[in-house]
Chains A and B, each alone.
Chain A
Amino acid sequence: MDDAMQSPALGAGGLLFDGPEWNFELVQRVYDACAEIALGEMGLDIYPNQIEVITAEQMLDAYTSIGMPLMYRHWSFGKRFAREETLYRKGHRALAYELVINSNPCINYIMEENTMTMQLLVIAHAAFGHNHFFKNNYLFQQWTRADAILDYLDFAKNYVSKCEEKYGIEKVEQVLDWAHALMSHGVHRYIGPRRQSADESRARSLARLEYEEATYNDLWRTVPKGEDGEGSLTRGGAEASTLGLPEENILYFLEKHAPKLADWQRELLRIVRRIAEYLHPQRQTKVMNEGCATFTHFEILNRLYDRGRISEGSMLEFLHSHSSVVFQPGFRDRRFGGMNPYALGFEMMRDIKRMVEEPTAEDREWFPDLAGTGDSMAALREIWADYRDESFVHQYLSPKLIRDFRFFTLEDDAEEDDMEVSAIHDEAGYRRVRRALAKQYDVAAHDPRIEVVEANLSGNRRLLLRHTVINERLLSKSETEQTLQCLANLWGHRVKLLEVCAETDDVLVEHDALPRPS
């Protein structure tokens, strides 16, 4: 260990570190100091942490493979890597400081180039903030299994590479391409994934059998059957119900029912679907997740500074990167690129803390259950557990923040030349702005609603899909044709997609695709 580190000023209650250099012992010491505050004072609840030190190249690699530590090989990750690398080398974009995996133990990547202050920031942000969110938010609990994901990815990676060996890279790549195209329609949005293990399903079918045996009655044998007996299950309405139609999880449907796929191809679809499921909560909680992590690091760093455990220099360095992370340019600004989830999330968390501790009259009126209750951490922990972006914004965006951000809503009708300002930060507009912003974070409203509605399994085997068109928003034509082509290739027969107006049930556009053997 460095001599400098042993100077008396750096003892138990003094500075945790001095200077920009980091080493493993310091990381440990800083981690312990963070843990004291995060777990002891803020009451966070986390998975055990595993901190991994990596190089810049490894960082690029990790986050171009959808942020997974292990991932199967695919050209699209290479494409992302090439793009990010070019931007990074040109200096257009800084690398992410950290990457954290929703797993148990929770894996945090920190980069070797970072200064000690940055390592501290990253540990406070990811190892405590994100970690707490992963472990406690209901969506993550419902959709992901932190203790199994690494094993699953390992399995997926090996499976894909085995398939590549056996069937050739091109064949595997094709299936993955097609499956990736449908990835956004690879989750059961409304019910969550079925969590039935093989054991459970075996037990269930055994129980069913036992029940049938126990309640056996010979009389049923004598009841005359319909003419086509069980054969009718494959036709008409009965068919739809066996196949579980309508089905919004297209990948799931193909995996189970596509007539021409080989077993390994089904397994590939399953892998892509499982990864889509795993990522599903992240898409829905960007603001909250980043808000939680940013709030956590801000609290920890400030408390450390107040107690004289980090130097003023470190604090300034921290504030510099913190303020650039939570910077939100206005819509006229050249730097504007949409809402910054860090900015909105952080400000909302801070605003909640303010309302709990020092409410104004307005807050009491708008948030009677929250304002002035006193324990801000308890309130925040509850919110972090029970909401996703849409419901969170809908519930907790306060008029004060709407004024601070100077939010306004714009109505854009493709047929008009101009966009109309429909609400601004005033008494009449608060609720409207809030509703519109919440909707903007609704993933379900963002992705087009497409379902498999009809599958003919015995005749021409045509697959019929329906896009429910809301607000006259049709699908983009070229994208849809390409995606539908992928779908047709997987299905193996003709596929038709109808775009149907939600209100009138009129068919607005029809797309059609035949499988293209390659």
Chain B
Amino acid sequence: MRVIDRRLNPKSKSLGNRQRFIRRAKADIREAVQDALKRRKVSDVEGAEKVRIRARSVREPSFSHGNEQGKRSYVLPGNKDHQVGDYIPKPPSGAGGAGSDGSPDGEGEDDFVFTLSKEEFLDVFFEDLALPNMEKTKLAKMKAFAPARAGFSSDGAPAKLAYTRTMRNSLARRIALGRPRKGEIQALEEALFRAEARGDVAEATRLRALVEALSEKRRRVAYIDPLDLRYRRYEMRPKPTTQAVMFCLMDASASMTEGLKDLAKRFFMLLYIFLSRHYEEIDIVFIRHTSIAAEVDEDTFFRGVQTGGTVVSTALEEMLRVVEERYPVDDWNIYAAQASDGHNFSDDMERCLQLLNGDILPMCQYFAYIEVVEREFARSRFASQLWAGYRDIDDPRFAMRRASSPGEIFPVFHELFAKSSAA
């Protein structure tokens, strides 16, 4: 008999199988996320790591008997009071008495839930997407600096003294130069004292000279010499900005129906998840507008209905105001997504373009305009006010798309961020 310890064998032997499985279940995983988008708030959509996989999408079919027809007999244990000829009602399908008739390998056809790691989840979700202008982000945003440890130096502020390193140097030097120990000198002094007490003059003289020599040496070789001192050194290193702010701008006038708002919400959520893969910290600012704009909380943003006209530039102005107040451009990556049904005061377009081209686009990483339209208008060639106006913007940071049903949101999002089209 041999005993072999396999515990240290390479771990995650099953990883290959897991990846293959996830690839297989991708359709389900996408759907699960779509569901999550509907239910959750924009900012906690990331928590959606549990995925329900429907049995049918990962079904392994085989030839087997159906349960709808035919006769069969079971043998069951645990009969308490039944006699021959008794009738027992059938259990609801799939449960109880028919237990012996399960599939051969004991696997039912139930859905099952399994946990996807956050990485896997997002990987599946954004498989072909890349953040636009990432290169530029890195270069342009290296403005924040943070101190980082960078070895030791021989001078510095006392507060930065590196004790261990200093003491190590001191010890090495003391050993190398043979600094006498206190105990050594004391022993000699005691011997001297005894010699004097005995009246042994020759020995006392010799010892006295020795004690003096050692004490002198001890004085000359300091316990800690300025040479030993070491200080922790810090360097200011440029720190890539790891925070982003996402502006959600939405038309809140009555023409935006619940359905259209839902579409917009999905888009915002996608953008949020997407950004959260790239930044440690993300702020979201919700700005809704009619003929006036205001920053609101999420509930109000999606639920509230206001009456009034539609003046888009007010929202852009509000965004500029918030940026100025709270999000210095040097420290924050700024993303904006505007959702609207396309209505705007015709006189306002000029002002909008001026704001976008002049102020907003230069400071943004990306500005996406998504036009949500009722399905019946989706195919019409009619260009809305905003669409017609925005069409002329020529800036790689700006993109616009149209969507009319939830199913289109992901493709649209995908299109906007697809790697190939990244500027």
Q: A185 to chain B: which residues have CB within 8 Å?
A: 63
Surface stretch bound by B, among A148-156, A308-316, A336-344, A360-368: A336-344
CB distance from B247 to the nearest CB of A (A): 39
A471, B67: Cα distance in complex, Å: 12
Asked if B140 lies at the interface with its beta carbon under 8 angstroms from chain A, I say no
* B71-A331 in contact (CB<8A): no
The answer, yes or no, to whether A507 is at the interface (CB within 8 Å) is no
Specify which of B19, B90, B115 lies most central, judged by the most chain A CB atoms within 10 Å of its CB.
B90
Range of interface residues on A (Cβ < 8 Å): 35 or more
The verdict on B11 contacting chain A, using a C-beta distance below 8 Å, is yes
Does B99 lie at the interface of the complex (its beta carbon under 8 Å from any beta carbon of A)?
yes
CB of B280 closer than 8 Å to a CB of A: no
Contacts of A471 in B (CB 8 A): 70-72
The one of B58, B63, B77, B115 that contacts A450, using a Cβ cutoff of 8 Å: B63
Tell me the complex Cα distance, A6–B375, Å: 83
- Which of B4, B84, B86 has the largest count of A CB atoms less than 10 A from its CB? B84
Q: Which of A433, A467, A472 contacts B75 (CB 8 A)?
A: A433
A284 to chain B, nearest CB (A): 11
A64 CB-CB contact with B under 8 Å: yes
A418 and chain B: residue at smallest CB distance: B87
Query: Is the CB–CB distance between B69 and A474 below 8 Å?
Result: yes
Tell me the complex Cα distance, A180–B104, Å: 14
B158 within 8 A of A: no
A100, CB-defined interface residue at 8 Å? no
Q: Taking the nearest CB of chain A, how far is it from the CB of B83, in angstroms?
A: 7
- Residue B92 is within 8 A (CB to CB) of chain A in the complex: no
Stretch at the interface among A48-56, A211-219, A225-233, A380-388: A48-56
Known contacts: A27-B3, A419-B88. The answer to whether A181 contacts B17 by CB under 8 A is no
Query: Are the CB atoms of A480 and B1 closer together than 8 Å?
Result: no
Q: Is A183 an interface residue (CB 8 A)?
A: yes
Compute how far the CA of A31 lies from the CA of B1 in the bound complex, rounded to whole angstroms.
8
Interface membership of chain A positions 66-91, coded 1 if the CB is closer than 8 angstroms to chain B and 0 otherwise: 00000001111111111101100000
Contact A332 B66 (CB under 8 A): no
What is the distance, in angstroms, from A112's C-beta to the closest C-beta of chain B? 6
> Contact flags (1/0) for A163-182 with B, using CB distance below 8 Å?
00000010001000100111
**B176 lies within 8 A of chain A by Cβ:** no
**Contact present for B114 and A82 (CB under 8 Å):** yes
Q: Which residues of B contact A407 (CB under 8 A)?
A: 75-77, 79
Is the C-beta of A24 less than 8 angstroms from some C-beta in chain B?
Answer: yes
Please measure, in the bound complex, the distance between the C-alpha atom of A432 and the C-alpha atom of B66, giving whole angstroms.
25
Contact among B21, B23, B75, B98 for A436, CB-based, below 8 A:
B75
Q: Is A95 positioned at the interface, with any CB of B under 8 Å from its CB?
A: no
CA distance A81 to B77 in the complex (A): 31
In the bound complex, do residue B85 and residue A420 qualify as a contact, i.e. CB atoms below 8 Å apart?
Answer: yes
Interface pick from A191-199, A257-265, A292-300, A421-429 = A421-429
Main SS of the interface on chain A? mixed
Min CB distance A28 to B, Å, is: 7
The reply on B61 being an interface residue by CB < 8 A is: yes
Residues of B near A105 (CB, < 8 A) are 2
Residue A405 at the chain B interface, CB threshold 8 Å: yes
Kindly specify which of A8-16, A440-448, A455-463 makes contact with the partner chain. Answer: A440-448
Min CB gap A207→B, angstroms: 39
- On whether the beta carbons of A482 and B17 are closer than 8 Å, the reply is no
Question: Do B78 and A422 touch (CB < 8 A)?
Answer: no
Report whether B77 and A181 are in contact in the complex, using a CB–CB cutoff of 8 Å.
Answer: no
The answer to whether A86 and B113 touch (CB under 8 A), given A75-B58, A419-B97, is: yes
Q: A183-B62, A184-B63, A332-B78 are in contact. Are A412 and B85 (CB under 8 A)?
A: no
**What is the CB-to-nearest-CB distance from A512 to chain B, in angstroms, rounded to a whole number?**
15
Identity of the chain B residue whose Cβ is nearest the Cβ of A433 in the assembled complex: B75
A476 within 8 A of B: yes
Q: Please give me the residue from chain B that is nearest to A330 by CB atom.
A: B78
A221, CB-defined interface residue at 8 Å: no
Report B-chain residues with C-beta under 8 Å of the C-beta of A79: 21, 24-25, 53, 58
CB of B14 within 8 Å of the partner chain: yes
Contacts of A75 in B (CB 8 A): 17, 20-21, 23-24, 58
**CB atoms of B6 and A436 under 8 A apart:** no
Distance, CA A84 to CA B383, complexed state (A): 54
Type the 1/0 row for A21-58, where 1 means its CB is closer than 8 Å to any CB of B.
Answer: 00010011001000100000000000011111111011
| Contact of A406 with B75 in the complex, beta carbons under 8 Å | no
Instruction: Provide the residues of chain B in CB contact with A450, threshold 8 Å.
Output: 63
Known: A86-B112, A338-B102, A412-B90. A476 touches B6 (CB 8 A): no
Structural contact, A50 and B65, CB atoms closer than 8 A: no
Is B2 within 8 A of A51, CB to CB? yes
Q: Is B381's CB within 8 Å of the partner chain A?
A: no
Instruction: Please indicate the chain A residues that have their CB under 8 angstroms from the CB of B13 in the complex.
Output: 58, 61
- Is A336 a contact of B78 with CB atoms below 8 Å? yes
Report A46 CB to chain B, min CB distance, Å: 10
| B50 to A, closest residue via Cβ | A86
In the complex, chain B residues whose CB is within 8 Å of the CB of A480: 61, 63
Q: Give the docked Cα–Cα distance between A105 and B4 (Å).
A: 13
Q: Are A82 and B18 within 8 A (Cβ)?
A: yes
Please indicate the chain B residues that have their CB under 8 angstroms from the CB of A64 in the complex. Answer: 14, 17
The listed residue (A73, A409, A419) touching B87 by CB distance below 8 A is A419
Which residues of A (323-361) have their CB < 8 Å from a CB of B? 328-333, 336-339
Given the known interface contacts A48-B1, A83-B114, the answer about A338 and B100 at a Cβ–Cβ threshold of 8 Å is: yes
Question: Does A473 touch B at the CB level, under 8 Å?
Answer: yes
CA A504 to CA B30, docked complex, whole Å: 50
| Complex interface: chain A residues within 8 A of B5 (CB) | 24, 52-53
- Whether A50 pairs with B6 at a CB distance below 8 angstroms is no
CB distance from A310 to the nearest CB of B (A): 19
Q: Is B420 located at the chain interface by the 8 A CB criterion? A: no
Contact present for A482 and B78 (CB under 8 Å): no
- Give every chain A residue within 8 A of B80 (Cβ-Cβ): 330, 332, 406
Show 6 residue pairs from A and B whose CB-CB distance is below 8 angstroms, ordered by the A residue: A407-B76, A417-B89, A420-B85, A421-B85, A433-B75, A436-B75
8 closest Cβ contacts across the A-B interface? A330-B78, A78-B21, A473-B70, A476-B66, A78-B17, A482-B61, A75-B20, A418-B87
Q: A81-B21, A417-B89 are in contact. List 14 more A-B contacts (CB 8 A).
A: A49-B1, A50-B2, A53-B3, A76-B60, A78-B14, A79-B21, A332-B78, A338-B100, A406-B78, A406-B80, A420-B86, A436-B74, A473-B69, A479-B66
Instruction: Name B residues whose Cβ lies closer than 8 Å to a Cβ of A.
Output: 1-7, 9, 11-14, 16-25, 53, 58-80, 82-90, 96-100, 102, 104, 107, 112-115
- Chain A residues in the interface with B (C-beta under 8 A): 24, 27-28, 31, 35, 48-55, 57-58, 60-61, 64-65, 73-83, 85-86, 105, 109, 112, 127, 169, 173, 177, 180-185, 283, 328-333, 336-339, 405-414, 417-426, 428-429, 433, 436-437, 439-440, 446-448, 450, 467, 471-477, 479-480, 482-483, 486
